[in-house]
Amino acid sequence: MYEKYITITAKHGIHTRPAALLVKAAKSFNCDVIVECNGKQASAKSLFKLQTLGLYQGVEVKVFATGKQAQEAVESVLTLLKTLS
């Protein structure tokens, strides 16, 4: 398992459009990618589940993955989250 933390800096948080980009990025990896926020977890490959997490500006998020491409997947998702600010 590989994990990292990031604080959401996007002014409007991670709403539908950026969440869809995150899902697309996560689906390109052959591993399970999970986003955790405020004690709730969701697959980064599910747009609906991501939207239930409350990914607002200023919240800390843990992104972790298990599987063959875990590190690459987490780094890719974090890079995307950083660019959405």
Q: Which residues are catalytically annotated?
A: 15
Three state DSSP letters for 34-54: EEEECCEEEECCCHHHHHCCC
From first CA to last CA, the distance across the chain in angstroms is: 27
Axis-axis angle for helices 16-27, 70-83 (nearest 10): 160
Q: How far is residue 11 CA from its own chain's centroid?
A: 16
Q: Which two tokens stand for residue 53?
A: 């997490």
